[in-house]
Structure 1
């Protein structure tokens, strides 16, 4: 039995235990199906989505990237293996309900049915957390794959160079992608990536938990009062023409959408040195508003978009950083980045 089907069956079984629920029926439909609950208070209908190993960025991504908005009289329902208590509190502020296989649930139909169960523990490790795909090196390869538009997969050696990992790592990732149905070889020497939306789910959650911590070079506080002035110092100095840099997070999103900049300057810089920090007058500070990240992939800068003089990292990195920051305005801006830059390619795969 597949992991998704197992989650569905466990969650439906839990719904059937509710006193006021008479029948539970999952019917074919958009997303992962249409769930109909017949209760003492009438017929209730959900649009279901199955998600595994949800952390906060992955949950925020699920909320932002829904492909099938529910129709009037229908609510969204997430079926998952386990949802931590902090994420249950987050869902409480949205219009999305959930059931997990551990027994936690949030069902809200005002005047008809209201169930909130929190505190149940999972019985097994979720596959997405145990997968090699979500190790730091696996995530580098996934980025190189997802950064490409379309579904054609380049040669493994090219992937190795673009992801900054060994050829053996690419081979190991490819084997797991094939095993899980993400990579197909319809004819010799041609590889095709499938289900890019699911891979994006894995990558977004893994970015904040596994990849980003390895990329952080340090946090700094500039001498300038305004972060925009600190950025201009870096951008305007012609003596640093050999320094490659690209904005991500709020500043990157502002360059792409003009919607929101925020109070954190996060950017990829290569090469980085203490001498450069001294020249920029950026002092190390654990709580500083500037975060410098390692430019782990040539795609980080090669895909740079020139927007109003700013150099912006690939929109996928900007999006993941916004979800990692996780505040309301960042998530709101992430929605714009996804709709304008990611959805057209991801949705068609």
Structure 2
């Protein structure tokens, strides 16, 4: 899919500007790059080489990671099937070059300035749904992102631990192999590859596929949120309050609760009042919670912060990633 996006983008770039490009993916480069490949563009008879990250759609919550790539690689270029207008504006403001599949391009490098923004959005035919990134698949990946060694459990044990039906596991493993996040070591064992990339993919798919199905209701609470004593086996803080608990760095303005309790329980046990404009969003808990833990797992708190966005949230997300996620990723 990524190679197809690049091929179409280069074809449309040539039509729009006359500029030709040559693509080298990580396979041809012997996997020496952490990103997807290198692109050489010939502009006014000069050659410009870029380190490339390829995505399908680019949404606001992915900006933080793209900024990090831009810092890590002086020659960074983003190629995507579609970039949302808000994101394009942010990329332009930050001087991060991009190329869309329709031929739209933004590039400032040396004496070169290219800006094309009038090409119509195109639809690249969607490939068959990868079962690793369905609602059930995302629940299993959420578990595996926290317990990487469990990929080598029996499929029955993995299904039990992730709380899904056994029949889903073979297709999820197949999906991870197809996307190169999982490599077969032998008939029964696997090795992980690019788990940070998998985490990024999980956050993107969680935002569009799983999270919308978890929403219950919004509430208000008349008092200090820290006074609320949650039953941590079935109800925990997520998002900004969880980040405050984990880092003592963020003062929450928006509140997230994950729970298995119903509306009556939430009202009776925690004095929450339903309100469509409330600042407490309640979502369904979709994992098995450790009752000694006050917050949702760090990976989910990290995702919540990136999806909410904002400078302070991004800074706090980076702290959580470095302290709680990266050591075990």
Shared fold (TM-score, shorter chain, > 0.5) = yes
The alpha carbon displacement at 1:33 in A equals: 3.5
Q: Distance in 1 between matches of 2:222 and 2:171?
A: 46
The worse-fitting range, judged by mean Cα deviation, of 200-209 and 114-123 is: 114-123
Distance in 2 separating the partners of 1:33 and 1:172: 28
Give the superposition deviation at 1:203: 0.9
2:255 alignment counterpart: 265
Q: Distance in 2 between matches of 1:217 and 1:302?
A: 22
Number of residues of Structure 1 aligned to a counterpart in Structure 2: 322
Q: 1:165 to 1:221 in 2, by over 3 A?
A: same
Are 2:201 and 1:202 aligned? yes
1:315 equivalent to 2:298? Answer yes
- Unpaired segments ≥5 residues, structure 1: 306-310
- Mapped contact 1:105–1:118 kept (Cα < 8 A): no
Query: For 1:46, which of 47, 50, 54 is the aligned residue?
Result: 50
Report matched runs for 1:190-269 at 5 Å.
190-224=189-223, 229-235=224-230, 243-269=233-259
2:268 to 278, 283, 289: 278
The answer on whether the counterparts of 2:13 and 2:102 sit within 8 Å (CA) in structure 1 is: no
Helix, strand or coil: the match of 1:53? Answer: strand
Superposition RMSD on alpha carbons, in Å? Answer: 3.1
Tell me by how many angstroms 1:282 deviates: 0.8
Aligned mates of 2:151, 2:130 — CA distance in 1 = 23
- Verify the 8 A CA contact 1:41 1:113 in the aligned structure 2: no
| Superposition deviation, residue 222 in structure 1 | 0.5
Q: Do the aligned residues in 1 keep the contact of 2:162 with 2:287 (CA within 8 Å)? A: yes
What displacement does 1:215 show? 1.7
SS at match of 1:302: coil
What's the offset of the Cα at 1:143? 0.8
The residue number in structure 1 matching 2:326 is 343
Cα 1:330–1:216 change in 2 (3 A) is same
**C-alpha distance after superposition, 1:3-44 (max 9, x if no partner):** 2222223333344456585x6445656333343444349654
The CA distance in 2 between the partners of 1:119 and 1:85, in whole Å, is 13
In 2: Cα distance, 1:332 partner to 1:179 partner? 33
Q: Distance in 2 between matches of 1:12 and 1:44?
A: 14
Q: 1:77 is paired with a residue of what secondary structure?
A: strand
The aligned residue for residue 124 of structure 2 is 124
Aligned to 2:279: 289
Relative CO higher for 1 or 2, CA cutoff 8 Å, sep ≥ 6?
1
> Judging changes above 3 Å, is the alpha-carbon distance between structure 1 residues 274 and 65 closer, same or farther for their aligned structure 2 residues?
farther
Residues in 2 aligned to 1:68 and 1:126: alpha-carbon distance in whole angstroms: 32
Unaligned runs of 5+ residues in structure 2 are: none
Correspondence 1:30-69 to 2 at 5 A: 30=33, 31-40=35-44, 44-57=48-61, 59-60=62-63, 62-63=65-66, 66=69, 69=72
SS of the aligned residue for 1:92 comes to: helix
Counterpart CA distance in 2 for 1:145 and 1:175 is: 15
Q: Equivalent residue for 2:137? A: 138
